[in-house]
Structure 1
C-alpha cells in the first residue's frame, strides 16, 4: 500500500499498509512496551469509543467503522463519525465502504474452493486455464502458476501497469490482461517481492472462466451468501439505492474534502469488494476458524465449510519473503521478526504471535483487516479518507488491549511520525523547486511539444494547446488530464485537474540530434504519490516517429 497520503493495497509494498520500511502500518513488535524518548509517562487507558473518536480528530478522518471478533464472537461492530463531510448522517455498523485490496482475500478464498473441487491446482500453469495469457518474457508466460498470480513475485515492478485501471479507465478486463505482454519486468521471475494488482485481475478472470460466472457472481454465490454477508457488494453499481454508503474523501491542498468515488469494474479481482462492519466480522470469523461456517451444517449434516482446513493453511502460509525495514525510532516496538506474503494475505508477527492481514486503498477510502489466529482475534478498520496513520494507531491500540500487552499511546506516536514524514517530503519537493534552473527555457517552441505520444502497454497520451494552456491527457483515462507548466530545460510538471489525486508528475522530453522529440518520460513529483500512478513505467514515443520506423 506506500505513503502517508495514498495507501494502495496497496497495496501494498511501499504502501503504508504493507511495508515496515514506510510508516509501520503493518509492522510488528516485541513483548515489551516501546521505550520512546519524549513520550508521556501516562498512557490513556484503552477505550474503543474514545480511541476512535480521538483518531478521527487527530488524523482528520470523517468516518470510521470498526469490527472486532474474539473467540468466535463479535465484540464490536459499530461506526463513528459521518459518512460525508457536511452531512450529519452517521457511520454505523451497516455503512458500506470500499475496501479495495482487501478484496484479494476473497479472490484467494474463491480459488481455494476451486482447488478443493479439483477444478484447478495452485501449481497449474496459468495458460492451462487461460490459454491467451502472456507476459513480456516467454519463459515467464509458460512457468507462471495460479500460485504465482497471488504472491507478488512475478518480476513486475511495484504497481506496474496500474494506470490501466487507476484512476477509472475505459479499458476492459480482457484488454488489461492482454496488455501484460508489453510490460517489461523489473526483476527476474520469483526473485523478489513487489506488490502488484494486475495479476489479481488475471486471477479474477480465471475464476470467471472456471465457474462460468462473473467474478462478482461467483463471490456472491460462494462466499457472501453462505456467510450471510447480505449487505456486501462486488461493484459500486450494486450500491445504487442504498443510502447507507460512505462517501470518498481526499485531501485537496492539504484540506480534507468529499470527492467522487472511483469505479473500477475492470479490476474487480483485485479491488472489487464493498462491505461494512457487520459483514466483515463474519468474514474474519470464517477465516479465523479455518473455513468453518459457524452454526451451519452441510447437506450431509457435517460442519459446513467455505474451504478446507488445508486450503486455509495454504492461504496463510509464507509464499514470498518480504524484506523487513526499520521503523522510525518512536515505533521501534512494531518491528516484526518475519514478514512474508501468503495467498491474498500479508503475514508477519506481533507479540510473538503470527498475524495475517491486508490493507486496501482506492480514491477516498483506506481499510485494514488484521487477524491473530492464535488469539482467535480479528480487527477490521474501514475509513472514508486517505490516511494510513489512523488505522495504524488504532490497530496497535486494539491489538495491545486484546493481547494483554502493555499499552502505548499509539495515536500520539503515529501522528508525530506521520507529521514529521510529511513535513520532510514537503521540504524535499520545495528544495527541488528552489534548486531548478528557473531561468532556463525549453529547447523548442511550446507548440512543438504538442502531439500524440504512445506507450507500448498504456497506449496514447495527447498534448495539445487549449487557448494559452498546454494540456496533457491520457486518452483512456477520462479524469487524468492536466495543465503543463515549465519546470526547467525540457522538463515540465503536469498539474492534474482533479486536485484530489495529489499526483502531479514531471514530464521530461528527450530530443534527437536534429531537435525532434525522441521520447517522453514521466515521474511523480512527490514520494507521497500513490504507487498506482506508475508514471515512471511509461515510455512515450511520438506516434509519428513510431509510424516512420515501421
Structure 2
C-alpha cells in the first residue's frame, strides 16, 4: 500500500518525538536537522467547494435519493447542494409527470408546502422592522376576533375533556415561534385538532373567514407553554394582509420575489409555467402511486381563493436557492436588502424546545437535539440530533416532501424537492443531511505542494 505524503512525513516525526521523550538521541537525516524544520507537511486550509466532499459518500447520497423513486414512493425527486455559493452537486431522479418521460431540472416547479412558512415569517419580520408591531404585542391587535379563546384542559384528550379560558391572548412572538397553541388538523387526534377539521378551517375561502372559523377552535395549550406546528403561519399571512392592505401573494411578489428575481415563486402557476409543474401524487404502502385530484394539482389562480401563509407557495430549486442565499448572507442578496442581520439572526436563533405541554418531554422525536426559532428549526446539539450538521444549522420540511437547510458555519445550502401528499409522508431530509455531513471534509490537505503565500481562505 502506498503511503500518502502526509503519512510519510508524520511517521518519522512521531518516531523522533517518541525517542526523544525516552532520552534517546537520534541522528539527523542527510541534508536535514533534528528540529524537523524542513519537513514538508501540507498545510491545512479551506478546500475549494468542489473538493469539499468525499465522492463515494456522495454517490451514496444519490443512491439514497434515487431509492425513493425506485421504490415507488414518489414519481420524482430533485436536489441541489450549494457550498460557498457554488453548485457542488445536483440530483434529478424520476420524471416530472407520473409515468411520463419528461426530465426534471432546477426550473421544475413544485408545491413547496410548509417551506412557505419561512417566506411568511420573513415577510412578517420585514413589517416588524418597519415598526408595524412589536414582538410582545397581542395578536388581537390585528385579529380582534380571537379575543376570547378557550383552551383544552388536556392536550391529549380525544373527546374534549372540558375547556377553560385562555390566560391571555397569544403574542406576535408566540405566533412566530409556533408556541401560541393553535391547532392544525392533519392526522392529529387530540380534541383541538378534531375541532379544527370539523370547522373546515383550512378550506376557508378568505382570510377573514379563516379567522372566524379558528376562533371557534380551542387552543391545544396555554399560550407560550409549548410548541406545535400549527395554523400560526396562516394567521401570520392574514396579519400581513391586514397591515399592508395587500393580498399575501401580492405583498410577497412586490417585497421579496421581484427584488430577488424569484420569477417562478407564487401561489399559483400561469399557463406559460404549467408545463414545468411536477405532478402531485399520493403513496400508500403496497399501493401504486396515484395522482392527487383537486385544485392543488392544477394550481390555477381561480381555484385557489386564499393565499395560505402556511403551505400555499410553488417554487423551484433555482428560486428557493436565491431566497436561501439571502438568508445565508444576513438578509441581503445582490444589493437587495430584505432584512437586517439582526432579524435574520432572530429568525435562526432557537426560542423554544420541542416539548410536550404537560410532561415537558420531547414531543417530536425527529426533532431531538433541535429547537425552533422564528420560522425554522435550529440544530442545538449535533450529536443528539443525529444529523451531523453543526449547531446553528437551520432547516424546515414541507409535507409534500420538500426540504431545505442552511449551514452558516460551512456555507452550505441544500434544497430538496419531491411531491407526495398522503397520510404516509416521504421525508428525505434526515437521510440527505447525514449523507452530506458524512461526506464533508472538515480538514483539508491539498495534494499539490504548498507554496509560500498560498492561501485557501
Scaled by the length of structure 2, what TM-score is found?
Answer: 0.68
1:242, CA displacement in angstroms?
2.3
Change (3 A) 1:391 1:339: closer
1:69, CA displacement in angstroms?
2.0
Counterpart among 187, 209, 219 of residue 242 in structure 2 = 209
Counterpart among 294, 309, 315 of residue 269 in structure 1 = 309
Contact 2:149–2:169 at 8 Å: present in 1 too?
A: no
Does residue 196 (structure 1) correspond to residue 230 (structure 2)? The answer is: yes
Contact 1:83–1:245 at 8 Å: present in 2 too?
A: yes
- CA deviation string 1:218-267 (max 9, x = no partner): 1111111111111112x235467521000111125622122235546435
Which runs of 5 or more structure 2 residues have no equivalent in the other structure? 1-54, 151-163, 186-192, 297-303, 356-360, 383-387, 444-457
Does residue 120 (structure 1) correspond to residue 133 (structure 2)? The answer is: yes
Question: Greater strand percent: which structure?
Answer: 1
Change (3 A) 1:345 1:239: farther
Cα distance in structure 2, aligned partners of 1:314 and 1:239: 38
Counterpart among 216, 221, 242 of residue 274 in structure 2 = 242
Which runs of 5 or more structure 1 residues have no equivalent in the other structure? 1-42, 297-303, 329-333, 406-550
1:388, CA displacement in angstroms?
2.5
Counterpart among 351, 357, 363 of residue 395 in structure 2 = 357
Contact 1:78–1:277 at 8 Å: present in 2 too?
A: no
Match of 2:180 in 1: 154
Does residue 342 (structure 1) correspond to residue 362 (structure 2)? The answer is: no
Change (3 A) 1:385 1:353: same
Match of 1:45 in 2: 57
1:128-207 correspondence to structure 2 within 5 Å: 128-137=141-150, 140=166, 143-157=169-183, 159=185, 160=193, 162-163=196-197, 169=203, 171-197=205-231, 199-207=232-240
Scaled by the length of structure 1, what TM-score is found?
Answer: 0.57
Cα distance in structure 1, aligned partners of 2:100 and 2:75: 10
When the two structures are aligned, how many residues end up with a matched partner?
A: 344
1:414-425 correspondence to structure 2 within 5 Å: none
Change (3 A) 1:280 1:77: farther
Contact 1:201–1:268 at 8 Å: present in 2 too?
A: yes
Cα distance in structure 1, aligned partners of 2:148 and 2:275: 42
Change (3 A) 1:203 1:389: closer
- CA deviation string 1:157-182 (max 9, x = no partner): 56436537979735432112112222
The 3-state SS of whatever aligns with 1:347 is strand
Structure (1 or 2) with the larger CA radius of gyration: 2
* CA RMSD, 1 decimal: 3.1
1:136, CA displacement in angstroms?
1.9
Cα distance in structure 2, aligned partners of 1:180 and 1:168: 9
- CA deviation string 1:337-364 (max 9, x = no partner): x321111111124344222111111xxx
Cα distance in structure 2, aligned partners of 1:44 and 1:92: 23
1:116-515 correspondence to structure 2 within 5 Å: 116-137=129-150, 140=166, 143-157=169-183, 159=185, 160=193, 162-163=196-197, 169=203, 171-197=205-231, 199-233=232-266, 235-236=267-268, 238=270, 241-251=273-283, 254-260=287-293, 262-263=295-296, 265-266=305-306, 268-293=308-333, 295-296=334-335, 304-323=336-355, 336=368, 338-349=369-380, 350=382, 351=388, 352-361=390-399, 365-386=400-421, 387-402=425-440, 404=442
Change (3 A) 1:92 1:237: closer
The 3-state SS of whatever aligns with 2:281 is strand
